[in-house]
Amino acid sequence: MREHRYRITLEHLATPKQGEPTHAAIGFETGNHDDLFTIVDKVRSKNQFDADAAASLALGLKLFTEVMLKNRSHPLFADINQPMRDFIQKLKALPQADAQTLPALAPETQD
């Protein structure tokens, strides 16, 4: 199977409360059978979430499901295999939204 290769980096930018420890950045390399940039663009184009939430959803799903795919016989994934397929098909079926007809999507703020 042809594989796109990626370097993923996670940096802790801020803590919710002053004085809480931050974490050192972590990074790892991984592969995926899909072009993750294309997938992020597709999810963003549906205008269901703000750009960062759409990217988080797309990347989280693709990283998780690639592990499932490479370990498809592992019993850990047995109960969620079909529900995950159903969820992904539902996500793919969402129409590309017309940005003019949707309300502005803004991240929710926490008090």
pLDDT at position 80 is 96
Which domains does the chain show, CATH number per domain? Answer: 4-11+24-93 (3.10.20.850)
The rounded distance, in Å, linking the Cα atoms of 55 and 65 is: 15
Per-residue pLDDT of 16-61, as tens digits, reads 788 788 889 999 999 999 999 999 999 999 999 999 999 999 999 9
**pTM of the entire predicted model:** 0.78
Q: Percentage of the chain with pLDDT > 70?
A: 86
pLDDT band at 96 (very low <50, low <70, confident <90, very high): confident
